[in-house]
Structure 1
Amino acid sequence: MMNFGKKILLLGLPLTLILSNCTDLEDNVVGKPVDNTETGSCSAAKGNASEALGSAYARLNDFSDQSNAYAMEEHPSDEMMGPTRGTDWDDFGTWRKLHQHTWDSQHNQIIAAWDNLNNGVYRSLQSIYFATPAQTQIKAEATFLKAFYSFYIVDLYGQLPSTDLANTCDGAKISSRSQAVDTLVKDLNYAVANLSSGSAGKATKEAAEFLLAKVYLNKAVYKQDPQSPAGPYTFDKADMDKVIELCNAIIASGKYELTAKGKYFDNFHWENGTRSKELIFTVENNEGSPIANARNRYYMGLHYNQIPSGWNGFTTLGDFYNSFEATDERVGGTYPGVTDKIGLNVGFLVGQQYDKDGKKLKTRGGEDLIFTPDINLSAAGEEKGIRVVKYVPEPGNLDNGGHDYVFFRYADVLLMKAEALLRGGTDPNGETAASLVNTLRTTRGASTLGTVDLAAVLAERGRELYYEGWRRNDQIRFEKFLTPVDQRPAQSDAHVVVFPLPQKVVDTNPTWSQNFGY
């Protein structure tokens, strides 16, 4: 019944990127030369750098949709699936194929995400190209955004297109994953050097440091031989030391701290921009007119008869839910000002569901609405599956809350540092992986761990960052992505750690090669 919530952009064109130049829009197909007859050159026409930067920021709004890049990072993992329920949510198998690792190069979401992300890169390139030598701030922000979109292309697709706006006749070239990592490091070092601290809703020095740490943490994955993309990976000590250095810089800024014990969901409250000091990079939303609306994050799972009346779609996996301790506040439960007003809990919804007066909710067929962990991905009843509410709905304003949409959080900084230490890095400050992970766990109400190893860090990343779009990335780095999970009983083939390039792109650009295994 519910599909994507937004139109898939540019589905039929081979890597179409939009040239937004003042008020005119012109389609430019990457990989083909541009005949600039007015100027007699192969350079793109100059425009307004500030307007182009605004267009580059606007592309971030795509991530708040439940489909495309977000779905590709979550559904193939061990923490999310989208079951078909009768005629609801079949969508030609798009969600099942993601969870069961059976996609191909013509999968609709693989195509749409490619278009959206490359459009973000191109808009960022425009701003860089249009900027004057005096517009260092604009160029630095645009360079960060270029790296942000490029990171997702590299992570998902393993190759990175690029074009030189000063010489568009050459068309787009494609960089290998290894080459693309070098470009990411170069761009982010420039951003770190030229950005200052500021609002989480804009590119800042700390946001650039965070993303650069993420690149170094995944460098072993991205530098891997493309003929054996699933590893085993060898993590270089120098890279891990760099992760620690960057995380320490963010910590030393003094801008961020974990939310107080009992306040985990303040990170996702409709006033999270003022309630939380964990937010490093977000899309800032205004109540009543959010541009990256977080409503998808609760609508996509809630049942039709709950408030808000949801789309009865995505669920978590029972094994993932069972990885939490009962005392861990990240599991969720009642939430003052929400449960008493609309009957909804936050976190994981399992078992009988109630309205605000404690009355049992029912299915459309009149049975008790009891969310159960058992589920069949191809044919699920409407009550099957544990639902997740991470962004806290605002009673009285369910559709247009002011939740800032979160990309980077301080808790992830602590977990990246802990992982880098376990992978051979050295901390000049003398912190240990155990101290970092246990600080996080005790703040969240979980027990301390006697031993913290890599398996413990992966599990903790899941508990802390669930439904935030990092799980596929994490599982690949820890070499657990191919492991069977509920509704995917067999070991997956190694090549699926990278998605294919959309077939339309390969067909249109004969010098580009399809990824290994496709």
Structure 2
Amino acid sequence: MMKKITLYICSLLMVSLVSCEEELDQIPLSEASTANFYRTPAEFEQAINGAYAQLRPFPDRYYDLSETRSDNIYGSSTTGVRPWDPVNDFARTLSNNELIEAAWNQNFNGIMRANTVLDRLNADVVSDETQRNRLEGQAKFLRALYYFDLVRWYGKLPIYSSVVTPAAALEIPRSSVPEVYDFIMSDLNSAMELLPDRWTGANVGRATSWAAKALLARVHLTRSGPDYGIEGPTLGVNEYDQALTLLNDIINNSHHAWVSDYASIFDYDNENNPDIIFDVQFQSGGLGLGSTLPGYMGVSSYFNTVPNIPSPQSSVEFREISDDLLNAYEPNDVRKAVTIQQGFTDDFGNVETRAFYRKFLNEANPGLDRFDWPINFPLIRYTDVLLMKAEAILRGGAGGGQQEVDDIVNMVRARAGLEPVSGVTLDMLLEERRLEFAGEGLRWHELVRFGKVIEKMNAWLPQEDELNRMPASIEPFNIIYPIPFTQLTVKRGLYEQNAEYN
């Protein structure tokens, strides 16, 4: 299905400033770099597209840094030298890891692009107030999203509220996590007022006021998770009432709605369906605008058996679904077959019993190459909003009760073909979320948010670590990643490394 919106083309601005493939070690660009741009409303639209462009790595990143880190995946490779091995193995030497560095650089690149739009936006060039408000709202939503991604990976961060010179950037230290959250929440509250409740035509897929509200609700829930004493993303602030108010608004007043068939949510011909509140948009056609995720989560030996699949799709290494996740599905749970490819026979006749994610895979529509899968990646779904509401109620948010929690969970279970349950607890809810969102990159963050990451992972590690590469147990410092080594050496003493990392 042809996409209605192409958000991820390198605009003329971004071609002149930095290529789509290049990553910045420091955010700022000089004033001279943009002197000949931002002269028309169309150029501002190009620029905001450039800010959206930094969402393109999110699907692979969530697979690398959340799914692989969690109890959903056992990712130790045969050689132990793949980039994700140290992530999977909780290594203390991750500061030199390319995945950790890319997450930092790409997010701050997105923040720089959003800041550039905000700095330059003015009524003299964009005279239409509605267009100007929407540009500002999108830039603030994206800046908040990039900062939220960063604070969950790294904890304390430098705050850039505008584009600064490279010299000025070297004088800006990391701010505390509460200060970063204040900045995020300010942006989202502003975006809620500036953005439309929906887009039409070619603009479908851009951020809406409902997306800002849903993201802010997730921020409140994350902040409210137990404080692990590490200056990480959870602060124990008990903002469940605030989250519940936002979630109820989305449920009661938005155009987003329940989708009765689970598989159809991820159907290539049903993108931007009512379950999708905000996603990363991709488009096939050999233009470099497609997704790499379906092949990246798979394995070449599988794709070699499927006609017309461009090869190689991924590394030859399995990152196999953990036995714990496989066994967590009840019989007849339709989500398992949608989410997981469990076994196949390779082109040499060898039977492979290990499993991998296939949730975003459609073998009949692979695109032109391994970078070209035409499937969007959901960042916030309506189902997530419902289950976040259940979470807020169970945590003591005012205005809901146990029956409402049970009803929400049983809606999700009924769609999965399962019998209803009663007396849903936080542990039951966490498990239901695991099965519903497996492969969508939420698991690690939710283990942290629910206060279960140490308990769950320390029970899981000895059961799954067949190659004996993981530690016997993890500690709270493992919840966040180290600051990339390249950032520590730009100016000695500007940033202090996160505790316990080399």
| Uncovered stretches (5+) of structure 1, i.e. residues with no partner | 1-17, 333-345, 354-360, 372-384
Q: Which residue of 2 aligns with 1:269?
A: 267
2:248 is the alignment partner of 1:248: yes
Provide the identity percentage: 27
Among 435, 447, 452, the residue aligned to 1:475: 447
Q: CA distance change for structure 1 residues 421 and 52 in 2, over 3 Å: closer, same or farther?
A: same
Which stretch shifts more, 323-332 or 483-492? 483-492
Q: 1:441 aligns with which of 396, 399, 413?
A: 413
SS in 2 for 1:118: helix
Structure 1 letter corresponding to 2:264: D
What are the within-5 Å matches in structure 2 for residues 324-343 of structure 1?
Answer: 324-332=329-337
One-letter amino acid matched to 2:49: G
Deviation for aligned residue 1:150? 0.7
Query: Which residues of 2 match residues 305-320 of structure 1 at below 5 A?
Result: 305-307=304-306, 308=309, 310-311=313-314, 312=316, 313-320=318-325
- Structure 2 gaps of 5+ residues are 1-9, 39-43, 124-128
Select the residue among 293, 297, 311 that pairs with 1:296: 293
| Aligned pairs for 1:101-140 within 5 A | 101-103=90-92, 104-133=94-123, 134=129, 135-140=132-137
Match of 2:489 among 507, 511, 515: 507
Equivalent in the alignment of 2:3: none
Corresponding residue for residue 338 of structure 1: none
Counterpart residue number, 2:479: 497
CA contact (8 A) 2:137 2:194 kept: yes
Distance 1:489 1:501, change over 3 A: closer
Per the TM alignment, residue 118 of structure 1 is displaced from its structure 2 partner at its CA by 0.8
Return the offset for 1:432: 2.4
What is the CA distance between 1:444 and its match in structure 2? 1.7
Letter in 1 for 2:214: F
Where does 1:2-401 land on structure 2 (aligned, <5 Å)? Answer: 21=13, 24-25=16-17, 30=26, 45=35, 47-48=37-38, 49-64=44-59, 66=60, 68-85=61-78, 90=80, 92-103=81-92, 104-133=94-123, 134=129, 135-165=132-162, 168=165, 170-171=168-169, 173=172, 174-199=174-199, 201-221=205-225, 225-226=229-230, 229=232, 234-236=236-238, 239-260=239-260, 263-273=261-271, 276-289=273-286, 293-302=290-299, 303-304=301-302, 305-307=304-306, 308=309, 310-311=313-314, 312=316, 313-332=318-337, 346-351=338-343, 353=344, 361-362=345-346, 364=348, 366-367=349-350, 369-371=351-353, 385-395=354-364, 397-399=366-368, 400-401=372-373
For the residues of structure 2 that align with 1:192 and 1:28, how far apart are their CA atoms? 29
Whole-angstrom distance in 1 between the partners of 2:322 and 2:24: 42
Does the 8 A contact of 2:11 with 2:47 survive in 1? no
Change (3 A) 1:222 1:187: farther
Matches of 2:283 and 2:30 in 1, distance apart? 42
Is the helix fraction higher in 1 or 2?
Answer: 2
Q: For 1:476 and 1:252, how far apart are their aligned partners in 2?
A: 29
TM score, norm. by length of structure 2: 0.81
- 8 A contact 1:458–1:478 mirrored in 2: yes
Counterpart residue type for residue 73 of structure 1: S
Letter of the 1:50 partner, please give it.
Answer: E
Residues 299/398 of structure 1: CA separation in 2 closer, same or farther (3 Å cut) = farther
Q: For 2:233 and 2:373, how far apart are their aligned partners in 1?
A: 40
Partner Cα separation in structure 2 for residue 47 and residue 212 of structure 1: 32
